[in-house]
Structure 1
């Protein structure tokens, strides 16, 4: 697991980075700060592997910060100013993200950091548990008509998930997160592949990044689906078909 620190003089910007970090299985949030000095202290204490650093910090410039780091961790620069990119790369940063940062671009930068850090961190597996002690990899074929088996983190190990336990499923590029009331299960697979294995109903694709269980929907308000405390958007491509299905099952 790569420990990440989000550093920006705007608190809202650190929250965006923190939210992105929470979506990627091999990242974990070590903290957020609006102070470059506090960030440097955390890094020097050995608690951080990767820093997402805004260039325009009041206490230290990004280049001063990078020099003081002394190579203790990797850095991804975040800024609204593309003209600083070349200078950043001269200081061996992992990547350079321009604000506003799309999630797919953030994920690409995170993967670059993963590829650089894993030899140092003893080749940990690329997919790590998030909010759960379970680690699952590639889904096996469905078994029976009320559950699915997922291949586990060791040979001949499988984890059974009952369809009725699934709240919703989120896809992040080639990663899938399956949310149940007790845990989040992570697998390396595309959402499209998993969609083909799931029964319809109760499962329906409502967005390029989400599949929901109709049985778990608490409320629909406009283009938003509410499942427990989670809000899931309805994509424009899926909207007409989804509401047709909802009308049919009422």
Structure 2
């Protein structure tokens, strides 16, 4: 098991990551803290293998934490600010998660950490003299929802995948089109492509992601979602038709 420590000055962020860790069979939660100084002590005492570390924190930023921790622990950076990604990778982090963090994206980072921290365990031969376990851990079930940032710092809205008709990109924010409302949130389409399950979600245009479960007709280069006509650009047309045809490439 990989012992995980979560460091973030926002308690809701701690709760989300603690829940994700509890759903991942090869991770165990060693602790959470809003104080990066306390977290650094944990690292120096060898009480954790993997740290999920926020960048923007008082007293000690995540990047300062990385310099002080050296190579004593593996780190996954978490932040709402994509401009810090380059700094993170220059410090040899495992991965970089942009808030709000979807479980699918978290799980991808967790597997990267597993590959780095436990390659020997993953390749270890099974002892033939020992009986096999009665049953393995339950499979990880990805959630059917995701969170988006609200209009205030600590407000997050839960959105069910099934409720999203399509997503429209508008400069530095996106509109989530739901059956009875539209939700604006500060994200990019690229970020949502990385977090939403594909399929049923597919990007079909530089400005649109569609939920195929709500598409009633595909006609050439046009998708019909309820009364909305969504264009399909040349860049994404082949991938869309491959999914529609069931991968047969006809």
TM-score (norm. length: structure 1): 0.52
Shift of 1:59: 1.1
In the alignment, which residue of structure 2 is the partner of 1:157?
132
1-structure distance, mates of 2:46, 2:14:
20
| Cα deviation code 1:34-87 (max 9, x no counterpart) | 000000001111010000000011011111100110111000000010010011
Q: 2:141 aligns with which of 140, 165, 172?
A: 172
Alignment match, 2:21? 21
Distance of aligned partners of 1:19 and 1:154 in 2 relative to their CA distance in 1, 3 Å threshold: farther
* Helix, strand or coil at the partner of 1:123: helix
Cα pair distance change 1:171/1:43, threshold 3 Å: closer
Mark the runs of 5 or more structure 1 residues left unpaired by the alignment. Answer: 127-151, 162-168, 174-206, 209-236, 238-250
Mark the CA change 1:125 to 1:16 in structure 2 (over 3 Å): closer, same or farther: farther
Provide the aligned C-alpha RMSD in A: 3.1
Q: What are the superposed Cα offsets for residues 13-43 of structure 1, whole Å, 9 maximum, x if unpaired?
A: 1111000000000000000000000000011
Aligned counterpart, 1:52: 52
Displacement of 1:172? 3.1
The residue number in structure 2 matching 1:73 is 73
Matches within 5 A, 1:112-123: 112-119=112-119, 122-123=120-121
Counterparts of 2:69 and 2:37, CA distance in 1: 11
**Rounded Cα–Cα distance in structure 2 between residues aligned with 1:160 and 1:117:** 24
**What is the TM-score when the length of structure 2 is the normalising length?**
0.52
| Structure-1 residue corresponding to 2:5 | 5
Match of 1:64 in 2: 64
Q: For 1:179-220, what per-residue CA distance to the aligned partner results, in whole angstroms no more than 9, with x for missing partners? A: xxxxxxxxxxxxxxxxxxxxxxxxxxxx99xxxxxxxxxxxx
Please give the residue correspondences for 1:1-250 in structure 2 after superposition, counting only pairs within 5 Å: 1-119=1-119, 122-123=120-121, 157=132, 159=134, 171-172=140-141
Distance 1:153 1:97, change over 3 A: farther
Number of positions where the alignment pairs a residue of Structure 1 with one of Structure 2:
143
SS at match of 1:52: strand
Cα 1:160–1:15 shift into 2, 3 Å:
closer
Gaps of 5+ in 2: 143-160, 163-212, 214-250
Question: Which secondary structure state, in structure 2, belongs to the residue aligned with residue 157 of structure 1?
Answer: coil
- Who is 1:243 aligned against? none
Displacement of 1:12 after TM fit?
1.3
SS of residue matched to 1:66: helix
